[in-house]
């Protein structure tokens, strides 16, 4: 019996050793996915930009060899079309050999805002000397520099850079500026932006959301504002680092990810060329390099920088197409200046029809390097995808799970060791890890689509009623609170208003005061309504009429439209007009008043100082009513409302609107959490009203 047990144990050990040997052989490869595109010091040929007048004059072109590589990759990716997205992500997370890196950095280093993006940046910064210390140490006014970060939410590149500097160059003085789609712009959709503001809310003075406050880097006016703000950025030193981590959700068009994001990448690059100073570096996230837009962009970068490399960080999931272009030692604005006017002309949301460069102006040697780069990264990506497909329906045995766990641990340890990660003094953090982790985290992007790509495609062909049924099924998954009556106790008047204006929007696509999933359901319903050319009145006109007939005749009533055709100016004007004329002790009832926007919540914040109570009553057939009891005339409130109305008039003349009147940080601290207590019942009752009318 003892001999059998010994033999069995020996067999176990051998199986485990074989699995371990097989998996561990991939570790070096994981950390060595780098490809040099151009290097002035090593290349025999120097790449030169053609005349600016020849740019964007030739029709779009394709390279057959690159298209062949694209077809091969898409064939492999196409095998995923029937996989449930949620289950596939769970599987690939289990299989991801580098899956322990983020958790090990959090556990061992306890750094600030550690995410996958944090780890990717730190890895690239360590592998490529991304921070140009040679330039910084030769600054005439000391060891100073500045950085600008494009498409930066939630801010992990910034916190990773801070950590890298504190451990690798503690004597360097650094300041930074960032831009991203504004998470406080209710006209920005969840699909387009990163809504996580745990870091942003504490560092708002470092963020520039542009001329229209949306943070859209693809708007030329916003670029101009960013450049101006970067020039007035506090501190000494030049802008010697620009990063761009932007992307667009391509879940529903995975085969054309590159073309979908091409114009964004052009805008990011043009922004960098306006911001960066001679000797500086640029980090740009790209995906594949099969189309003329990417080939031309890479050629532009290879001409403007002394060295250009492409890397796939170990901390980036191996099965996706994400990679980073590392551009070192910018030749300077004098070199690129003749081309900036042309590049700005094609800047924006609409891609140019023609290719940036004539194909004959790009050397064959450069095209060969691009082809080899595409083959290199396609090979590694396909290997991961095919292995994930092969193992999707298989259950790992004990030995496989154990050996995989050991390998993940080894990779995490290698990451910590190779990049010399160590803790920093909490006093050197920007905001503080503990502060960020305490903040509400519910705005991490939550996607509704968890079915397969093929199923999502089929759903687009469904009849409107079937699509509405899908939305209703999504709504039923949200837990219902039980309370239907609330009393708000709002805070004292602020000493001054903080009126913020921004781009005019008529549709509320996101909200800091509502669960993002509910907002996405409302958006789905609204899209169906538009397709059917139907306008749903909320609250329904007959319900409002019935309510008016039943209400206490001494009450004043003010009705609005919820969600549909949001009109901030009308809201401001009608509240000011009604309050200015309201008699003392009167009760004002608001019907259909949206609680989704900072402006509307801010107005309630003010109104709380003119009434004894604000009561929220839930009614399934109309959503909710706001009953403001016992009016007390407050001249300061009326002065504030008049000031807001004037600001709104001025904004309208510029096709802008008042977005907020109380800082979001104040709303968070005072009433944000309270509003979230009843948000589900409020907005689910709205969903019921929508469906009841169809």
Residues annotated in the binding site for S-adenosyl-L-methionine, as ranges? 155, 174, 245
Handedness of CA 463, 467, 472, 477 (dihedral sign): positive
DSSP one-letter code for 507: S
Give yes or no for a contact between 149 and 243, defined as CB atoms under 8 angstroms apart: yes
- Rg (C-alpha) for the chain, rounded Å, is 28
Give the other-Cβ count within 10 Å of 367's Cβ: 16
Q: Which of 442, 616, 438, 620 is nearest to 515 (CA)?
A: 442
| Three-state DSSP state, 374 | helix
Q: Which of 407, 440, 370, 381 is nearest to 665 (CA)?
A: 440
Which value, to the nearest 10 degrees, does the dihedral of the CA atoms of residues 634, 635, 637, 643 take?
170
Give yes or no for a contact between 156 and 114, defined as CB atoms under 8 angstroms apart: yes
Cross-strand partners of 144: 173
Tokens representing 36?
């040099």
Tell me the residue ranges of DSSP E strands in 47-143.
58-59
> Could you give the CA distance from residue 474 to residue 479 in angstroms, rounded to a whole number?
11
Decide if 285 is catalytic. Answer: yes
Give yes or no for a contact between 329 and 132, defined as CB atoms under 8 angstroms apart: yes
> Could you give the CA distance from residue 296 to residue 55 in angstroms, rounded to a whole number?
10
Which value, to the nearest 10 degrees, does the dihedral of the CA atoms of residues 74, 77, 79, 83 take?
-140
Give the other-Cβ count within 10 Å of 327's Cβ: 27
Handedness of CA 103, 109, 115, 120 (dihedral sign): negative
C-alpha distance across the termini of the chain, in Å = 74
Look-up: residue for tokens 């699995």?
Answer: 19
Q: Give the CA distances from residue 566 to residues 122, 185, 203, 536, 605, in Å, rounded to whole numbers and listed in that order.
A: 43, 13, 29, 13, 19
Question: 621 phi and psi, to 5 degrees?
Answer: -85, -5
> Could you give the CA distance from residue 308 to residue 327 in angstroms, rounded to a whole number?
5
Tokens representing 112?
């600030």
Look-up: residue for tokens 């209710």?
Answer: 186
DSSP one-letter code for 352: P
> Could you give the CA distance from residue 575 to residue 578 in angstroms, rounded to a whole number?
5
- From the candidates 120, 285, 317, 503, which is the catalytic residue? 285
DSSP one-letter code for 207: B
> Could you give the CA distance from residue 183 to residue 215 in angstroms, rounded to a whole number?
9
Q: Which of 547, 627, 640 is nearest to 599 (CA)?
A: 640
Name the binding residues: 155, 174, 245
| Residues found in the chain | 694
> Could you give the CA distance from residue 552 to residue 564 in angstroms, rounded to a whole number?
28
Q: Give the CA distances from residue 606 to residues 75, 237, 596, 599, 613, in Å, rounded to whole numbers and listed in that order.
A: 59, 44, 16, 11, 12
Active-site residue list:
285
């Amino acid at each position: 019996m003892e001999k059998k047990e010994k033999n069995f144990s020996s067999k176990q050990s051998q199986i485990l050793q074989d699995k371990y040997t097989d998996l561990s052989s991939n570790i070096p490869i994981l950390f060595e996915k780098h490809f040099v595109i151009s290097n002035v010091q090593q290349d025999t040929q120097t790449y030169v930009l053609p005349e600016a007048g020849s740019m964007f004059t030739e029709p779009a072109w394709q390279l057959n060899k690159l298209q062949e590589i694209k077809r091969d990759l898409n064939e492999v990716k196409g095998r995923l079309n029937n996989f449930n997205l949620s289950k596939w992500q769970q599987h690939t997370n289990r299989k991801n050999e580098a899956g322990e890196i983020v958790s090990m950095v959090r556990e061992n280093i306890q750094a600030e805002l550690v995410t996958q993006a944090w780890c990717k940046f730190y890895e690239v910064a360590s592998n490529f000397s991304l921070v140009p210390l040679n330039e910084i140490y030769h600054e005439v006014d000391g060891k100073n520099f500045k950085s600008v970060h494009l498409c930066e939410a939630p801010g992990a590149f910034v916190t990773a850079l801070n950590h890298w500097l504190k451990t690798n160059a503690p004597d360097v003085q650094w300041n930074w500026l960032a831009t991203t789609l504004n998470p406080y712009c209710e006209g920005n959709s969840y699909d387009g932006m990163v809504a996580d503001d745990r870091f942003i809310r504490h560092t708002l003075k470092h963020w520039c959301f542009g001329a229209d406050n949306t943070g859209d880097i693809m708007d030329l006016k916003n670029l101009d504002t960013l450049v101006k703000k970067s020039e007035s950025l506090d501190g000494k030193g030049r802008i010697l680092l620009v990063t761009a981590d932007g992307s667009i959700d391509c879940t529903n068009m995975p085969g054309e990810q590159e073309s979908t994001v091409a114009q964004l990448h052009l805008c990011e690059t043009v922004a960098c060329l306006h911001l960066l100073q001679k000797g500086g570096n640029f980090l740009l996230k790209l995906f594949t390099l099969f189309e003329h837009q990417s080939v031309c962009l890479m050629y532009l970068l290879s001409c403007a920088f002394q060295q250009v490399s492409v890397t796939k960080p170990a901390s980036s999931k191996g099965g996706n197409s994400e990679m980073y272009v590392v551009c070192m030692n910018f030749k300077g604005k004098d070199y690129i200046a003749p081309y900036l006017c042309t590049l700005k002309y094609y800047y924006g949301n609409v891609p140019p029809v023609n290719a940036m460069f004539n194909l004959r102006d790009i050397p064959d040697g450069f095209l060969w390097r691009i082809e080899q780069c595409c083959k290199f990264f396609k090979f590694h990506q396909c290997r991961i995808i095919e292995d994930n497909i092969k193992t999707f329906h298989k259950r790992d045995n004990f030995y496989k799970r154990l050996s995989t766990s050991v390998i993940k641990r080894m990779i995490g340890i290698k990451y910590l060791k190779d990049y010399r990660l160590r803790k920093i003094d909490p006093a050197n953090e920007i905001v503080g890890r503990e502060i960020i982790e305490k903040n509400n985290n519910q705005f991490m992007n939550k996607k509704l689509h968890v079915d397969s790509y093929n199923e999502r495609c089929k759903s687009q062909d469904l009849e409107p009623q079937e699509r509405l049924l899908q939305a209703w099924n999504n709504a039923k998954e949200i837990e219902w609170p039980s309370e239907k009556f609330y009393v708000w106790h709002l805070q004292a008047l602020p000493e001054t208003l903080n009126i913020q204006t921004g781009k005019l929007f008529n549709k509320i696509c996101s909200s800091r005061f509502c669960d993002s999933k509910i907002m996405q359901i409302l958006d789905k319903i609204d899209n169906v309504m538009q397709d059917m050319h139907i306008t749903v009145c909320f609250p329904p006109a007959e319900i409002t009429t019935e309510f008016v007939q039943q209400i206490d005749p001494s009450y004043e009533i003010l009705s609005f439209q919820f969600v549909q055709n949001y009109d901030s100016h009308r809201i401001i004007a009608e509240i000011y007009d009604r309050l200015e004329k309201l008699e003392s002790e009167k009760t004002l009832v608001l019907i259909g008043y949206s609680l989704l926007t900072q402006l509307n919540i801010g107005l309630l914040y003010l109104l709380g100082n003119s009434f004894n109570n604000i009561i929220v009553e839930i009614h399934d057939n109309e959503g909710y009513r706001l009953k403001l009891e016992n009016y007390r005339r407050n001249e300061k409130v009326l002065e504030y409302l008049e000031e807001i109305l004037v600001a709104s008039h001025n904004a309208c003349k510029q096709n802008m609107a008042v977005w907020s009147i109380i800082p979001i940080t104040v709303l968070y601290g005072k009433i944000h959490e309270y509003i979230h207590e009843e948000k589900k019942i409020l907005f689910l009752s709205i969903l019921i009203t929508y469906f009841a009318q169809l």
